[in-house]
Amino acid sequence: MSNRWPDKYIIGLTGNIATGKSVVRKMLEHLGAYGIDADELAHRAIAKGAPGYGPVVQTFGTWILKPDGEIDRGRLARIVFSDPKALRRLEAIVHPLVIKAVEFLIERARYRVIVVEAIKLLESDLRQWCDAIWVVDAPPEIQLKRLIQQRGMQESDAYQRILSQPSQAEKLAQADVIIRNDGDFEKAWRQVLAAWERIPSTFREAKKPAPSRSQKETPKAQRALVTPAPAQVELQVRRATPKDAQGISQFITQVTQGRERPTRTDIIARFGDRAYVLLLEGEDRMVGLLGWKVENLVARVMDIYILDEIPPEAGLKKALAYVEKNAQELQCEVMLVFVLPTLYHRSREVWQELGYQPRAIEDLQVPVWQEAARESQPEGTMLLFKQLRKDRVLQPL
């Protein structure tokens, strides 16, 4: 095991661009791992106000800035991915900051299995911390398709990004586990499950350590979340797995009265992007469903489906309590909840009691929070905001 953290099992997850590393990280999170996206931390490190911002602007010039003062990552990428020397200069600024942030998150994590996703994992000091190296592989034509369709790249830019990557063959040669990810979620899921079972059971099955004293102290604004549901409504909450995909698709169709008709395959695919929380009456009757995810230390609830017969003071509180508890364990800074205006106004007092306030994206204080809201907000919803903790990773030095 890692000499640095003998009580934790560290998976280093890597692979070249658009091979599907994030999907595999999400699968590991479904199984109980704590995920760290080092590539997103690299983006954070050069955000306005972060410690890498000034050195990057001084190195590459103010012309890389957007009108709002943020670094235009697309413009910066075109420089560094066409000039190896420029890329090394950027990495010399960013990598030490990312290493420090990853170390901070691992130290604080209460999970026993940690997965660190990083495209340059094997070329950095992160390598020596890992107990196992997992490499995600995909055919070049799939990589190209993903960059064009999912990231909106021009074909020429996508080719340039693929060609600028270190050798995928060298990564595969160093792998303890290889996940072939050609876009079939269920096929990749079976590979991840099989590899997960090979992790020592002392880590996979270990209970999370008891929280520290500071973690046990619950702010007044959060204590309302643990208010028991009314006695007449006995609700249970649990995290869904891909095995629940058929039930989830049927429930969404039922709640929306057929306006939304996701298939089981649709739901399976969504598991590569988010987690689902099931709200159950008794042990098996689904009465509510929340879809949420964590990226870049920002928790986002994108889907809320609850039967009208379930009182919001019971259903919303129970489901959000579960999500919020997990978000705090994942060291999230904020919760962003996207809710239909009708649900907000019908349950305004509940939202206020839980500490959620309506916000415009432009009013969020931190650029990474604004970016998370813009990329996640479903059409027709309003944004509710709650800050979970004051200290932040990668604050200015």
- Is residue 272 domain-shared with residue 382, that is, in the same domain? yes
Number of domains into which the chain is organized: 2
- pLDDT, position 161: 86
Is 379:341 a contact under the CB 8 Å cutoff?
no
- Is residue 198 domain-shared with residue 218, that is, in the same domain? no
Among residues 204, 222, 251, the one where a domain terminates is: 204
- Is residue 54 domain-shared with residue 175, that is, in the same domain? yes
**Helix axis angle, 38-45 relative to 84-108, nearest 10°?**
110
**What's the whole-number mean pLDDT along residues 226-245?**
73
Q: Which residue has the tokens 């996979």?
A: 204
- The sign of the CA dihedral 227, 228, 231, 234 is positive
The structure tokens listed for 254 are: 């039922």
- pLDDT, position 198: 97
The structure tokens listed for 218 are: 């619950």
- Is residue 68 domain-shared with residue 137, that is, in the same domain? yes
pLDDT digits (tens, 9 = 90+) for 8-53: 999 999 999 999 999 999 999 999 999 999 999 999 999 998 999 9
- Is residue 162 domain-shared with residue 222, that is, in the same domain? no
- Is residue 281 domain-shared with residue 374, that is, in the same domain? yes
Among residues 169, 184, 204, the one where a domain terminates is: 204
Give the predicted TM-score (pTM) of the model: 0.87
C-alpha torsion angle, residues 31, 33, 34, 40 (rounded to 10): -70
Is 274:292 a contact under the CB 8 Å cutoff?
yes
**% of the chain surpassing 90 pLDDT:** 80
**What's the whole-number mean pLDDT along residues 352-376?**
94
Helix (H, G, I), strand (E, B) or coil at 117: strand
pLDDT digits (tens, 9 = 90+) for 302-353: 999 999 999 988 999 999 999 999 999 999 999 999 999 999 999 999 999 9
- Is residue 223 domain-shared with residue 194, that is, in the same domain? no
- Is residue 189 domain-shared with residue 267, that is, in the same domain? no
Beta-bridge mates of residue 306: 288
Q: State which residues form the domain around 83.
A: 9-204
- Is residue 135 domain-shared with residue 240, that is, in the same domain? no
Residue 50 inside a domain? The answer is: yes
- pLDDT, position 2: 60
Is 116:36 a contact under the CB 8 Å cutoff?
yes
> Whose CA is closest to 27, among 198, 142, 195?
195
CATH code for position 152: 3.40.50.300
Q: How far apart are CA 358 and CA 385, in angstroms?
A: 6
Residue 47 inside a domain? The answer is: yes
The structure tokens listed for 177 are: 């586990």
- Is residue 194 domain-shared with residue 221, that is, in the same domain? no
**Helix axis angle, 53-60 relative to 73-80, nearest 10°?**
60
> Whose CA is closest to 220, among 332, 337, 354, 128?
354
- Is residue 101 domain-shared with residue 237, that is, in the same domain? no
CATH code for position 302: 3.40.630.30
R_g (Cα) of the chain, nearest Å: 21
Is 148:155 a contact under the CB 8 Å cutoff?
yes
- What is the enclosing helix (H) or strand (E) of 86? helix 84-108
pLDDT digits (tens, 9 = 90+) for 111-168: 999 999 999 999 999 999 999 999 999 999 999 999 999 888 999 889 888 888 888 9
Q: How far apart are CA 135 and CA 178, in angstroms?
A: 5
Is 376:300 a contact under the CB 8 Å cutoff?
yes
**What's the whole-number mean pLDDT along residues 281-307?**
94
- pLDDT, position 224: 35
pLDDT above 50 (res 201): yes
- Is residue 247 domain-shared with residue 196, that is, in the same domain? no
Cα distances from 372 to residues 28, 42, 358, in angstroms, run 22, 15, 16
Among residues 204, 239, 265, the one where a domain terminates is: 204
DSSP string, 317-374: HHHHHHHHHHHHHTT-SEEEEEE-HHHHHHTHHHHHHHT-EE--GGG-SSHHHHHHHH
The structure tokens listed for 130 are: 């890992």
- pLDDT, position 396: 53
> Whose CA is closest to 197, among 183, 215, 177?
177
- pLDDT, position 233: 56
**163-197: b (≥16 Cβ within 10 Å) or e:** ebbeebeebeeebebbbebeeebeebbebbeebbe
